[in-house]
Chains A and B, each alone.
Chain A
């Protein structure tokens, strides 16, 4: 089957109008020996059967209903109001495309403008674009922006920035002349870890285009970034701040107020369930001086011929379809629908709602930590945290996580060995407003049983 409505009679009439005898005649430009291969594909499935088949695949995954989950690390299970998905299922949103014709896309454009406004208010920045692919590529684009701006070769990146984001940034600059230095920003003791920005401060010099830090950092720790901000200012380097969890901005001083030049982050958690890691939506906000270097779409407010308020894609001369090889990025499609979900979510939660879920996340995480301590665990994080912390696993994180899952039916967190091999006895535990008292109890009793 296909979704094509033409009947054989339609096709015959259309072929006559085209002046050819058969559809095969339309493919004559393809070299004859390569024409019409047999495709080795499974047989077509009607709607009912394909739903059943996908249901079977889904049944082979565990979900948050099967296991108590404390997984975070950039993807958090936050409350997404029911109206969000009802809106995302509206054809006018999800079957439209990039608003190239503004007169027919005012809905998308105004929603983009509102999104940009919300991001600016949340982050304390002046300008936001309409999103990039995900937090990781947003960081990569920030690094590229700073390189183009300063023409300096070095990027200093804290090892407490999400390791996958660091990897993606490294891939993006791999063919360019960029010296990407990962610098330690956390100090280990036997069972603990705490922020230590000194090495980062020392690494910033006149060759540094930007320094990248995460807040709260990948280990969940909140630290005053001022020494980094000062060192960067002294040496003319820019500061890129990665926001670990956008909900944390319901509580924390926005990075813009701390002196960030660029703020990036991942917004998926505001828009829907984690979907095995994608599609996400990359947040990208800058100081106003950088507006003409921003990658990706930006919606602007203007008026129409009658003086009516209206919205339009603006500053398009930055973009690849106009500027080609001199564009600020090659990005075309962004993540409009995920962004729309985040926008509606933020509007529906509002000022108090976002603060409350941030506070509830903080509460749940601190109760989880307390319960773990009660079960004999040592909390490794020696710094304030919002909703994510490290716990010490003496026999190694990987083995302990495996036992907690198999013996306790708990996904207790993430092996922090991904940050640095010296952290492979630390587990990153996240909680949110959706973490229940039962989840915390399951975690604590599993921990006690797997000593």
Chain B
């Protein structure tokens, strides 16, 4: 594939793109309205024609792999099909062309949608209260930990530590730090679960919470979850659940029933709002009743037939978004849940888990399987056998690109050597999985017979492997500023 020039290279002085609206008024001269010292003299934006802009971005799009192109089994990201109807509903003028500062009387449909979505998410997770204000999972985590700290404080307690299993997503410890907490890592037991004895040793009066991912990033459901919850509660701490992997549990278990206190959901994973090339996502925070007074404000409430914004609770952690969250994605998630219903959601979880187990059973002869037991929505393999042949997991990933499949998440969770974290999701068919299995087996053979084929991969992609070292050492993160040499 040829290199695409930068948009600036398609620019030519005086060339016009799209035209602004016809003037409605006699123009006001900016120099009459503002001091000239406030006006910029140069605006170094490109000058390109509309067709050149269209073609430029179209050609760039061709260099992307996407869910709609082919399988995208990126572990922990739930790259499932994004239903097209969601894009239609999100663009309904009555839901898109609504200003966030409109008085509630003129935004009843939007408020009702948020209210109803929170109720649906409450039913699905079992928690009595939900806030859809967080913009994404990590903001949900921050809200969750701040709510927990506020709850401890309301009981006159100051707790300064958070326990995070070593298999956790990096956001969990990072959120702990942003919440002013000391992060204490918990080792994983031999069966992939939490080591109860170690947990008991770490629990003390300083521990505010444990953050655990359910199912874990190893794709395993924590068999001792009830014991974990009991131990944590007995120590006066709270159980935070990272809900990135909720897709495995839909209709099969409500996390609140397990005694978990607070959980965030990634609507862009489980509820299929598109990932957008890296966002926007949408988070949601679900909590037990004792934490409800601390949820972010403002909250949408129902008053008879009307929907209103409640006066902020005095104990609320405050606002985390300038308005009511990523509303456009809330519309998509609401559409998704209403389209599937209870049975459809459960079927999604069932097929997601079946698909992952099918890959596990089919690939365990060719790749090492560090935790050999029934998995949930994803399976973690290890390229350790291939490493002995001089082939790294990175090479396996890059070779998958040549076969037109997006690689799984690699080298994560960090406790697994040469990890390949594979999440097929429910929307891949058996044929698609069989193709993936076939390709993975072929790659395993190539690792034995022709390892250089893997070292050189990819060769069938828009670019070959990149020089990341120079990119880091001498960062070039923008086109050279105008006027520079």
Contact = CB atoms under 8 A, between A and B. Distances in A.
Contacts of B416: none
B136 interface: yes
Interface in B328-372: 328-329, 331, 334-335, 337-348, 350-351, 353-355, 357-358, 360-362
B97 A274 contact: yes
B64 A330 contact: no
A63 B93 contact: yes
B335 A50 contact: yes
A17 B361 contact: yes
Nearest to A299: B477
Contact of A306 (B112, B135, B337, B464): B464
A249 to B, nearest CB: 8
A93 B478 contact: no
A85 B17 CA distance: 16
Contacts of A421: none
A81 B1 CA distance: 29
A333 B280 CA distance: 7
A19 B427 CA distance: 22
A251 B323 contact: no
Interface in B21-71: 21, 23-28, 30, 33-35, 37-40, 43-48, 50, 53-54, 56-58, 60-69
B175 interface: yes
Interface string B81-93: 1110101111111
Given A63-B93, A101-B397, A306-B464, A96 B482 contact: no
Interface in A257-306: 257, 266, 272-281, 291, 297-306
A91 B6 CA distance: 22
A146 to B, nearest CB: 15
Contact of A352 (B47, B62, B97): B47
Contacts of A134: 135, 321-322
A26 B374 contact: yes
Contacts of B323: 75, 164, 276-278
B322 A100 contact: no
Interface stretch (A51-59, A202-210, A228-236): A51-59
A114 B223 CA distance: 48
Interface string A94-121: 1111111111111110110110111011
A225 B312 CA distance: 34
Given A51-B89, A87-B61, A250-B43, A364 B24 contact: yes
B19 interface: yes
B65 to A, nearest CB: 4
Nearest to A301: B476
B423 to A, nearest CB: 12
A352 B397 CA distance: 45
A59 B103 CA distance: 15
B225 A50 contact: no
A29 B112 contact: no
Given A104-B65, A117-B478, A310-B463, A53 B321 contact: no
A324 to B, nearest CB: 4
Contacts of B173: 320, 324-325
B95 A57 contact: yes
Contacts of B178: 144, 172, 175-176, 329-330
A95 B83 CA distance: 10
B99 A274 contact: yes
Contact of A50 (B149, B339, B409, B430): B339
Given A278-B321, A350-B16, A11 B471 contact: no
The listed residue with most B CB atoms (<10 A of its CB), out of A15, A281, A348, is: A348
A19 B361 contact: yes
B57 A344 contact: yes
Contacts of B249: 30
A131 B281 CA distance: 13
Given A44-B343, A347-B7, A57 B146 contact: no
Contacts of A55: 92, 94
Interface in B189-247: 220-223, 225-226
Interface stretch (B118-126, B285-293, B382-390, B442-450): B118-126
Given A165-B322, A300-B477, A17 B362 contact: yes
A51 B322 CA distance: 28
A96 B25 contact: no
A182 B481 CA distance: 35
Nearest to A108: B277
B439 interface: no
B98 interface: yes
A356 interface: yes
Contact of A273 (B81, B97, B139): B97
Contacts of A40: 123, 342
A347 B17 contact: yes
Given A54-B92, A333-B279, A300 B318 contact: no
B107 interface: yes
B302 interface: no
A435 interface: yes
B354 A26 contact: yes
B130 interface: no
A62 B220 CA distance: 47
Contacts of B258: 31, 34
A361 B328 CA distance: 26
A1 B348 CA distance: 9
B471 A302 contact: yes
Contacts of B102: 61-62, 69, 71, 411
Contacts of A444: none
A190 interface: no
B174 A327 contact: yes
A275 B113 CA distance: 13
Interface string B293-332: 0001000000000000000000001111111111111010
A390 B374 CA distance: 63
Contacts of A306: 464
Contacts of A344: 53, 57
Contacts of B154: none
The listed residue with most B CB atoms (<10 A of its CB), out of A60, A96, A281, A363, is: A96
A436 B351 CA distance: 53
A348 B17 contact: yes
Nearest to B59: A107
B226 A31 contact: yes
A64 interface: yes
A27 B353 contact: yes
A252 B331 CA distance: 36
Interface string B445-483: 000000000000010011111111011100111110110
A314 B476 CA distance: 9
B139 A137 contact: yes
Given A172-B178, A304-B463, A350-B46, A106 B20 contact: no
Given A54-B331, A320-B174, A2 B351 contact: yes
9 contacts: A55-B92, A59-B94, A94-B274, A94-B275, A103-B461, A106-B463, A133-B139, A349-B17, A352-B47
Closest 8 CB pairs of A and B: A58-B94, A277-B323, A277-B100, A44-B341, A337-B276, A60-B109, A279-B280, A91-B68
Given A62-B102, A277-B100, 11 more contacts: A1-B340, A2-B347, A60-B112, A61-B110, A94-B275, A133-B279, A133-B280, A321-B171, A333-B137, A344-B53, A386-B34
